[in-house]
Amino acid sequence: MQPETYEDRFEHLAALLAERLGEADIATVRRAYEVARSAHEGQLRDEGTPYIIHPIRVATLLAEELHNYSTHLICGALLHDVIEDSDITRKQIARVFGKEVARVVWLLTKFEDVSLPAYLAAIEAAPETGAPIVKLCDRLDNLRFLIHSPKGEKKRRYIRTTEQHYLPMAARTDKYLYDELCRSLEEIRKHVKSRRQTEADDQV
């Protein structure tokens, strides 16, 4: 059975990692989760779920689907939105988790004055950090749950930006993520088309 609460979801992730990582690494991952949970406290996703569920799902995707058990990437996935969504700084992340994790989180932080192409180009220019993989996992998770968002324009924007930017990036980065993005993209296209047809029928 799929875990329901974010606490259960994190414990599911921790159990996955416990098969591959030592106690010290698990403790580091748990600390990253606690920092992210505090940073996102009170924040909700469009579908009405606690925001922290999203970074947990991204980290779980890394371990469960990509079999990537890198402690710094799992921590980076859990923390990837904390600079953007809270007062936490890169220096604070570096002090607690090290410069490697801090760099990943910094690369994944989208600032308003930076265009999407420039943002993604900077991420892709640093493959040694693992940030491109985490970013693609982030987009894949968003696509998979986009169907639950009430925002039609957001769905159309995600379709457009995924086609234009994320699919080419995935094609250059990881075949599994490329295939999964294609599959999720097709599902959301069908969903949007169905919603449009239903709305048109209601107007008749």
Exactly one of 11, 34, 47, 85 is catalytic; which is it? 85
Let me know if 84 is a catalytic residue. yes
- 106 in a domain, yes or no? yes
Q: How far is CA 114 from the centre of its chain?
A: 19
Closest CA to 51 of 114, 145, 132: 145
Q: Quick one: tokens of 20?
A: 């591959």
**In this structure, are residues 140 and 61 in contact, taking their beta carbons and an 8 Å threshold?**
yes
* Phi and psi, residue 46, nearest 5°: -55, -35
- 170 in a domain, yes or no? yes
**Helix/strand number for the chain, H first, E second:** 12, 0
- 164 in a domain, yes or no? yes
- 202 in a domain, yes or no? no
What is the pLDDT, as a whole number, of residue 163? 97
Task: Map residue 182 onto helix, strand or coil.
Answer: helix
What is the pLDDT, as a whole number, of residue 157? 94
What is the pLDDT, as a whole number, of residue 160? 96
Exactly one of 4, 19, 47, 84 is catalytic; which is it? 84
The CA radius of gyration of the chain, in Å to the nearest whole number, is 17
pLDDT tens per residue, range 101-148: 999 999 999 999 999 999 999 999 999 999 999 999 999 999 999 988
- 162 in a domain, yes or no? yes
What is the pLDDT, as a whole number, of residue 204? 45
- 201 in a domain, yes or no? no
pLDDT tens per residue, range 29-80: 999 999 999 999 999 998 889 999 999 999 999 999 999 999 999 999 999 9
**Tokens 């940073």 label which residue?**
39
Query: What is the pLDDT confidence band of residue 199, given thresholds at 50, 70 and 90?
Result: low
What is the pLDDT, as a whole number, of residue 35? 98
Amino acid letter, 63: A
Let me know if 112 is a catalytic residue. no
DSSP category for residue 44: B
pLDDT tens per residue, range 11-26: 999 999 999 999 999 9
pTM across the whole model: 0.92
Q: What is the mean pLDDT of residues 87-111?
A: 98
CATH code for the domain in which residue 11 is found = 1.10.3210.10
Cα–Cα distance measured from residue 204 to residue 200, given in angstroms and rounded to the nearest whole number: 7
Contacts of 143 (CB under 8 A, 6+ apart): 158, 162, 181, 184, 185, 188
pLDDT tens per residue, range 66-82: 999 999 999 999 999 99
**In this structure, are residues 80 and 88 in contact, taking their beta carbons and an 8 Å threshold?**
no
Q: Which domain holds residue 85?
A: 6-194
- 84 in a domain, yes or no? yes
What is the pLDDT, as a whole number, of residue 149? 84
Query: What is the pLDDT confidence band of residue 191, given thresholds at 50, 70 and 90?
Result: confident
Q: What long-range pairs does 50-56 form, CB within 8 A, spacing at least 24?
A: 50/6, 51/81, 51/85, 52/6, 53/6, 53/9, 54/81, 54/141, 54/142, 54/145, 55/79, 55/80, 55/81, 56/6, 56/9, 56/10, 56/13
Domain count, the chain: 1
CB atoms within 10 A of CB 49: 14
- 199 in a domain, yes or no? no
pLDDT tens per residue, range 145-188: 998 888 888 899 999 999 999 999 999 999 999 999 999 999 99
Decide if pLDDT at 1 tops 50: no
